[in-house]
A and B are shown apart, each in its own frame.
Chain A
Amino acid sequence: MSPRTASPTPRPGFVLEVERSTPPILFHHGEGFRLERLPAGRSRVVYPPSPLEGLPDPAGAIRHALEHPIDSEPLPALLRPGMKLTIAFDDISLPLPPMQRPDVRQQVIETVLDMAAAAGVDDVHLIAALALHRRMTEAELRHAVGDRVYEAFAPSRRLYNHDAEDPNGMVVLGVTDHGEEVQISRRAAESDLVVYVNINIVAMDGGWKSTATGLSGYQGLRHHHNVATMLKSRSFMDQRSSELHHSNWRQGAVLRDSGPRIFQIETTINNNSFGTSGSLSMLQKREWEWTARDRATFLAMQGGLQVMSPAARRRAFQSWRAPYAITSVQAGEVEAVHKVTTENVYRQQLVAVEGQTDVLTMGLPYICPYNVNSIMNPILVMCLGLGYFFNLYRGRPLVRPGGVVIMTHPTPWEFHPVHHPSYIDFFEQVLADTTDPVEIEARYELQYATDEWYRHLYRTSYAYHGVHPFYMWYWGAHALSYLGRVIVVGGDRAAVRRMGFAPASSLSDAFEIASDTVGSRPSVTHLHLPPFVMADVS
């Protein structure tokens, strides 16, 4: 049975050729914005498609997907009294920005639990599959699963965060034919059924990456979260060419053969990050479509942001909840489900782009997967720009080999002391020594990954794992080896230089700096995001 998806296809994305009449283009700039003119006659802007229509009846679509799964028996048929059921779900890193209530996870989990209750399943655990991310707070868990679920399961410790460093809580199920250990939560491994509830916001998410990564620990993750894998992933947003996914899929095969039965539920959401109406709606409009009201709102917002303190700005931005709508839901066998999911992600995000460019520009927003309710520190700036945005391509990178990436972001030398303690040391100790991912991996990774203090903070506080900043740096390894130069506009100069990038005070300065690498009249492509757009480069 085919899954239900939203039918209408609204306005597709497109590539604007910049000419003299093109108005200034919006660049995100952390907790702020810039309007920049791009060189006419040799620049283009890649705009995302408009948000797809949401499913008219999400609850009905979820139930339909569970009762008519792909390559699997219906979920009710898999549930029986006396069984051990584990429901794992994506953590705080998805979606971005966090969505308005009700969260997709809440809607799906309530339906699954409803079916489990009908089947008389008593032993149910819910696990936030956060791998080596920080633990979710009570408020964040409540937001994700809803108050009803939280209050029913959290007090009795049947709703909790995954703990990858629990010496008794993790098991190794086997080894792939490439020698990769498959490590997973003991509770999940010993369950009769694991239901994984996923949100797909970019093509990297989902599939075996949900379970093989989300419920795993350092012992399993190190086999694909490493420099060699990242250098071979072209890109990790395109599963066919992603070594990261190949490794996860090999681990998934071991899970399928030796682990618990897994029932995968994947959802896609539209790219309505800022709303089609309302105070931030101009951020996802094309500039020439801004109304007088949009312009007035933007000017007022810019004026307001200038007089706010950085902390107040951060609070204001982090309080934004996106009005996302579910565009598809599919359930069943992991790989079959994920194929459909990926197509639905591409349906929302893919834009055909002809040829590569000399200079790729991108405005980095205030949020990335690892600073929800937190601070976007310099390492995360690098990860978002060179890890995520650079990799938003299928086929070939948007920028040519040896080209230049220009990012706009304040890049403050600032870290959240609770969430990112190992990042501070990584920035002060490791990057002060070298920025070469290969050298960093060889000399420092194990020390940080096994540090008892970081381990303690990860397990008991709300800290990312000690090894996490390394993974963020590896995420950009391909871009670092591929690009001729990286320039950060408007960033803290010392922080930008520490990472080996060139600081620039304005976009025109950045083009001037870039001219050493790509000449004085380079072709320029600007990725106009968020909302997410993925370039299908021919």
Chain B
Amino acid sequence: MRGLDFPWRPPTVPLSAPPEHVPAALGADFDTDWARRWPARMVRASIIELLWRPVVAAAAQPSRLGLDRLEALDGEPVIFAANHHSHLDTPLLMTSIPEPWRHTLIVAAAADYFFPTRPKGFASALFMGAVPVERARVGRDSAQEVAGLVRRGWSLLLYPEGGRSTDGWGQPFRGGAAYLAHRCDVPVVPVYLAGTRKILPKGRLVPAPGRTLVVFGDPVRPDPSERIRTLGTRIEAAVAALADEVTTDWWKARRRAHTGTTPSLTGPDAASWRRAWALSHRSRPRRRRWPR
């Protein structure tokens, strides 16, 4: 059924459709409070450790780099901002993010995609700790809801691109991570993921096992006097620098970061075949131990 598209399967409801057609209890209005209570957290912790971890280990064989950069955080709530290629990204991160954040983690999930029906919303909230976020328009209500949770000590996993990559290149970061970090005054941990698209790209149902890389970056702290847009640019640049780091080396990446010549995550602004061409020339992530 999932491989079929409309009209073989029921249509999804666009967020900008007239409100009379959006069921009130679904989408951004889906109630997820129950999923952050102890019984649900216990279930989720069990799922992470007993289901996601072996599945991820088998299918993704992750190498986790830069965990030492998180030590300075002292366990305070943070926002993890990662690039997004695959549905595998979330299980991979849920099993890679270290304690104490792993089991106090909520995941910002697209309200239209993860909460269109009650069963799907229930599964998203329970298995991922997902909270609905409107991605197609400025959703003050959902942003306030998430900000409130961060202030209460929850850490947030968020994909600023707003959705999975369609062609292997990243998409421009949206302002959600910067807005929440600025508003809640919490640091943003940039995370770069590589390899998940090969295993489970958008549109594929069955994963093809492969290797992945999870690179955590230095936390980006918001400056109260800085504009949200500037903070957003810093976050995107930090993730891009991590990508550069794993495709070249740390030194080259740092030099390019300082000279503002870090390659963009979004690839060339050109026709689709040229983007695909350019992607094929990109260096593949190398399996290595770093830092030594």
Contact = CB atoms under 8 A, between A and B. Distances in A.
Interface in B248-274: 269-272
Contacts of B12: 21-23, 288
A456 interface: no
B203 interface: no
A287 B272 contact: no
B7 A19 contact: no
A292 B15 CA distance: 21
B291 interface: no
Given A288-B21, A289-B21, A19 B11 contact: no
B21 A19 contact: no
B6 A287 contact: yes
A520 B16 contact: no
A288 B23 CA distance: 13
Contacts of A140: none
A521 interface: yes
Interface string A1-32: 00000000001001011111111100000000
A286 interface: yes
A512 B270 CA distance: 10
Given A18-B14, A288-B12, A295-B7, A512 B272 contact: yes
B284 to A, nearest CB: 25
A145 B173 CA distance: 63
A494 to B, nearest CB: 26
Contacts, number: 75
Find the residue from A21, A41, A521 having the highest chain B CB count within 10 A: A21
The binding surface of chain B is classed by DSSP as loop
Interface stretch (B70-78, B108-116, B183-191): B108-116
Contacts of B6: 23-24, 35, 287, 290, 295
A249 to B, nearest CB: 39
Contacts of A16: 14, 16-17
B135 to A, nearest CB: 7
Interface bin, chain A: 20 to 34
A295 B7 CA distance: 5
Contact of B11 (A20, A287, A512, A515): A287
A520 B271 contact: yes
A520 B270 contact: yes
Interface string B270-288: 1110000000000000000
Contacts of A18: 14
A457 B113 CA distance: 60
B169 to A, nearest CB: 12
Contact of B112 (A20, A41, A292, A512): A20
Interface in B109-140: 110, 112-113, 116, 135-137
Contacts of A286: 17
Given A21-B110, A35-B7, 18 more contacts: A11-B18, A16-B17, A19-B135, A20-B112, A20-B163, A21-B116, A21-B136, A286-B17, A287-B6, A287-B11, A288-B11, A288-B21, A290-B11, A295-B7, A295-B10, A299-B7, A512-B271, A515-B271
Interface of A: 11, 14, 16-24, 35, 41, 286-290, 292, 294-295, 298-299, 512, 515, 519-521
8 contacts: A16-B17, A17-B16, A19-B136, A20-B112, A21-B116, A288-B13, A299-B7, A512-B272
